[in-house]
């Protein structure tokens, strides 16, 4: 999992509440569990004018030029600005995979669906909850200024604007540590490799029959 320390980038506004996980990545793309390759199908049913198919060539598909992701001013955005209840619907982990694979590193919203919120942290994506008034101000600023960008400082829990102003945000300290160090569930487990190996060695000595032999080495 990629580390998240300080990330700076363009902000893309998605001015729609209750964006569900099927909106983020439609169900026909859920067959793969590789965690990569989903970025081209992010927001697929709104990004393209035809119906997407798994493992197809997307380079020749008709583009919905009016959808925000396809507007030139938001090309290569890294921060997604969203509305209430982002990530609702089914619990597919492919939703944060798709956002991350496209290049988004953080999502700012007034509220998130619980499962999506938790899945983000497990996949290196930072979901930040801000009050509605702050979100409204950010939407206005993004609309007014082309090339609007923010810098997110996770260690200091600050969102920095180009004018020098900053916005503080809350984050669980355990999750913060995991993001800063790039630790997903597997990475956390491997942190205890020495303890795991010691346990296995002692288990072999005390219960050799579990391992099909009397080899205690």
User: What Å distances lie between residue 33 and 17, 109, 186, CA to CA?
Assistant: 28, 27, 15
142 closest CA partner among 65, 83, 64: 83
> Which two structure tokens, joined as six digits, stand for 160?
């920095």
The predicted-structure confidence for 78-126, as pLDDT tens digits, reads as follows 999 999 999 999 989 999 999 999 999 999 999 999 999 999 999 999 9
Q: d(Cα 31, Cα 45) in Å, to the nearest integer?
A: 17
Q: Which domains does the chain have, with CATH numbers?
A: 6-179 (3.20.19.10), 184-217 (no CATH)
| Tokens at 83, concatenated | 């509305």
Task: Please give the share of the chain, as a percent, with pLDDT higher than 90.
Answer: 76
Q: What is the pLDDT of residue 210?
A: 76
pLDDT at 192 (0 to 100): 64
Of the candidates 87, 40, 73, the one whose C-alpha atom is nearest the C-alpha of residue 59 is 40
Please, are residues 20 and 27 in contact by the beta-carbon 8 Å criterion? Answer: no
How far apart, in whole angstroms, are the C-alpha atoms of residue 4 and residue 122? 12
* Residue numbers of the chain with a pLDDT score lower than 50: 216-217
The strand ranges marked E within the chain are: 6-13, 79-81, 106-109, 126-129, 149-153, 158-160, 166-168
Say how far apart CA 78 and CA 10 lie, in whole Å. 6
| pLDDT at residue number 216 | 47
**Measuring CA to CA, how many Å separate 140 from each of 13, 57, 134, 208, 212?**
10, 36, 10, 67, 67
Rounded distance between C-alpha atoms, residue 185 and residue 65, angstroms: 39
Question: Long-range contacts of range 26-31, CB-CB < 8 Å, 24 or more positions apart?
Answer: 26/52, 27/90, 27/92, 28/52, 28/53, 28/54, 29/54, 29/94, 29/98, 30/92, 30/94
The pLDDT value recorded for residue 197 is: 77
């Amino acid at each position: 999992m990629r580390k998240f320390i300080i990330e700076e980038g363009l902000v893309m506004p998605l001015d729609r509440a209750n964006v569900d996980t099927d909106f983020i990545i439609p169900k026909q793309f859920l067959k793969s569990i590789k965690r990569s390759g989903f970025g081209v199908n992010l927001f697929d049913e709104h990004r393209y004018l035809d119906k997407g198919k798994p493992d197809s060539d997307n380079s020749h598909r008709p583009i919905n030029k009016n959808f925000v992701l396809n507007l030139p001013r938001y090309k290569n955005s890294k921060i997604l600005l969203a509305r209430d209840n982002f990530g609702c619907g089914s619990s597919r982990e492919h939703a944060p995979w798709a956002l991350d694979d496209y290049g988004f590193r953080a999502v700012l919203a007034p509220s998130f669906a619980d499962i999506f919120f938790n899945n983000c942290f497990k996949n290196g994506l930072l979901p930040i909850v801000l009050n509605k008034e702050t979100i409204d101000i950010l939407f206005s600023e993004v609309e007014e200024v082309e090339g609007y960008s923010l810098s997110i400082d996770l260690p200091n829990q600050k969102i920095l604007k180009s004018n020098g102003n900053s916005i503080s945000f809350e984050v669980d300290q355990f999750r913060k540590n995991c993001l800063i160090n790039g630790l997903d569930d597997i990475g956390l487990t491997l942190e205890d490799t020495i303890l795991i190996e010691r346990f296995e060695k002692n288990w072999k000595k005390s219960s050799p029959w579990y391992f099909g032999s009397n080899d205690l080495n």
